[in-house]
Amino acid sequence: MNTADLRQLLQGVRDGTADIDAVVEQLSRLPYEDVGFAHIDHHRALRRGYGEAIFCAGKTVAEVVAIAERMVAYGHTNVLATHADAATLEALGKAVPVRLHADVHLAVINPVPVTAVGLVCVCTGGTSDIRVAEEAALTAECSGSRVERVYDVGVAGIHRLLAYNDLLSQAQVVVAVAGMEGALASVIGGLVACPVIAVPTSVGYGASFGGVAALLSMLNSCSPGVSVVNIDNGFGAGYLANLINQLAVGVPRTAGEAQGQSQKATGD
């Protein structure tokens, strides 16, 4: 449930068009629903602007499906199921409306179109980084951001990145996804005026230590304005990128802020 959904519910109560028992039943599950093995946060979209995702790793297939079914029943849309294995994706496809992205180990549950605003550019150092980058890109897209992908533009052939300089300069935020030594984030940070979110990946040879080398390089970036998320955390990067992008283009964060902007626009 987001602020628009809550407003619609209350409007129906005021107008007498809503079934009171149905409204009470929905509100009774705020702020969360206890299903025994999980507390589903139905309130998160009201607080944060985008709802809870399902992190599938470490959960059984049955647990993931049960959570997904409850979220769909409640009316949540564009719910992300991340780090899902093939068996989980197959089970979700049979249980709920879903758009599967098997190559990214991700599913979008109860998918609906969204109005995309602003611009988030998601860049990768190499093709091997694309799985993590796509998790970031899909997260930002599902939460309402326009996303442009700029893949395989690592510093070993920096002319490839420079060819996209005009596009990068239009972005509200850039997500830089790279393994190996993770230099891409610093280079992009020296080119653009917007925030850069660096995502180290576990791609690389032995001395990359499963992404630790890229993580440390990004944390020690000499380019100001570069923030860093954890290794392979595409979801976290996409979520943060959307927040920055929405703020940059002036999207209201709460129902109260939206009303205030409307009153200001109309002179009330």
Quote the CA–CA distance of 200 and 178 in Å, as a whole number: 5
How much is the pLDDT for 262?
Answer: 45
pLDDT for 259 beyond 60:
no
pLDDT for 57 beyond 90:
yes
When the pLDDT of each residue in the chain is averaged and rounded to a whole number, the result is 87
Greater pLDDT, 30 or 227: 227
Q: Stretch 17-35: mean pLDDT, rounded? A: 74
Tens of pLDDT, residue by residue over 161-213, are 999 999 999 999 999 999 998 999 999 999 999 999 999 999 989 889 999 99
How much is the pLDDT for 33?
Answer: 74
Quote the CA–CA distance of 109 and 92 in Å, as a whole number: 8
How much is the pLDDT for 51?
Answer: 79
Tens of pLDDT, residue by residue over 120-135, are 999 999 999 999 999 9
CATH of domain 117-248: 3.40.50.1970
How much is the pLDDT for 102?
Answer: 93
pLDDT for 44 beyond 90:
no
Closest CA to 129 of 149, 147, 152: 152
How much is the pLDDT for 3?
Answer: 64
Give the DSSP per-residue string, 3-61: HHHHHHHHHHHHHT-S-HHHHHHHHTT-S-EE-SS-EE-TTHHHHHSS---EE-TTS-H
How much is the pLDDT for 256?
Answer: 43
CATH 3.40.50.1970 intervals, the chain: 117-248
Q: Stretch 130-151: mean pLDDT, rounded? A: 95
pLDDT for 16 beyond 90:
no
pLDDT for 79 beyond 50:
yes
How much is the pLDDT for 105?
Answer: 93
Distance of CA 123 to the CA centre of its chain: 15
Strands 33-34 and 39-40: antiparallel
Closest CA to 120 of 154, 143, 153, 104: 143
Give the confidence band of 107 by pLDDT, cuts at 50, 70, 90.
very high
How much is the pLDDT for 27?
Answer: 67
* Unique residue bearing structure tokens 């930002």: 140
